[in-house]
Structure 1
Amino acid sequence: MRWRFRLISDSAVAWAGHRVIPVALIGFIALWTAVGLTFSFPRQWFLLTNMVGTLVTFLILLLVQHSQNRDMKALHAKLDELIRSSEAGNHWIAAETKDADAIEDMRQQHQDQISEKRA
């Protein structure tokens, strides 16, 4: 089930990000407006437009967030492996799981070490 969701999510994000989509949306909006003018824009027309627009926006937002979260996890795993295989201190591994004060302390300690090496 997980791999199906990932496949669907990846496909939807790739589809939504395709360069043809803005042109297709402009054409759809023009068609939607022409049909609305033909029927004198009944109240239900506006309700349907708002509902569909909100739902599509929310769905795309969730799919993009899912994709970004997965990409970020992969990026962190790669960075952790680079840290592990380099001369950098292993205390930097999984720094994203620490609170803001601890990260700031680590950053300050790193800046102090750089300053000492330059002096």
Structure 2
Amino acid sequence: MTFAKIAQKLSLWAGSPKTFLGAIVLLAIWAASGPLFGFNDTWQLIINTSTTIITFLMVFLIQNTQNRDTDILHLKVDELLRATKDAQNAMLGLESLDLKQLEALRKRYQDMGKDEAKSLDGVEQKNKIDLNQC
């Protein structure tokens, strides 16, 4: 089984209500055992070490899952752009732009959005921008 498949299954398991409830039960058991162990350093070290290890591993799991979800979302949007007759095909290659170019493009879209918001109120559309010229 590949890492992606393992990560996906672990992500589904880790995000389930049963896993959350299990974590709460384990924390309650740990807290209840405090008086038995006199709240000593070893008792505290158990929870600190456990949560540190779990957090460390979950960072990689979450990053893998987020990267996969982002890739899927980008592919779906790319397909919608490709299939839509009036879409700006220049948007399909945004990954190759640097940060300044992306910020400039975002500003242009915000400016377009302001005009579009006005057109929702019945005001005529103006200043159509051809993004294929980017």
Question: Same-fold call, TM > 0.5?
Answer: yes
**Counterpart in 1 of 2:8?**
10
Which stretch shows the higher mean deviation, 99-108 or 80-89? 99-108
Q: Is the 8 A contact 1:36 1:45 kept in 2?
A: yes
| 1:20 CA drift (Å) | 1.9
Higher relative contact order (CA 8 A, sep 6+): 1
**Counterpart in 2 of 1:99?**
98
Normalising by structure 2, we get a TM-score of 0.72
Which stretch shows the higher mean deviation, 52-61 or 34-43? 34-43
**Counterpart in 2 of 1:46?**
44
1:67 and 2:78 correspond:
no
One-letter amino acid of the counterpart of residue 101, structure 2? A
Q: Is the 8 A contact 1:76 1:94 kept in 2?
A: no
1:77 and 2:88 correspond:
no
Residues 54-101 of structure 1 deviation map (CA, whole Å, 9 limit, x = unaligned): 110121122011101011011111211221222212111132442232
1:55 and 2:53 correspond:
yes
Which stretch shows the higher mean deviation, 100-109 or 37-46? 100-109
**Counterpart in 1 of 2:25?**
27
Residues 15-38 of structure 1 deviation map (CA, whole Å, 9 limit, x = unaligned): 111012222222111111222321
User: Pairwise CA RMSD of aligned residues?
Assistant: 2.2
| 1:105 CA drift (Å) | 2.9
1:116 and 2:127 correspond:
yes
Q: Matches of 1:13 and 1:35 in 2, distance apart?
A: 30
**Alignment: residue pair count:** 114
Structure 1 unmatched runs, 5+:
none
Residues 32-53 of structure 1 deviation map (CA, whole Å, 9 limit, x = unaligned): 1222321212212212211111
Q: Matches of 2:96 and 2:44 in 1, distance apart?
A: 45
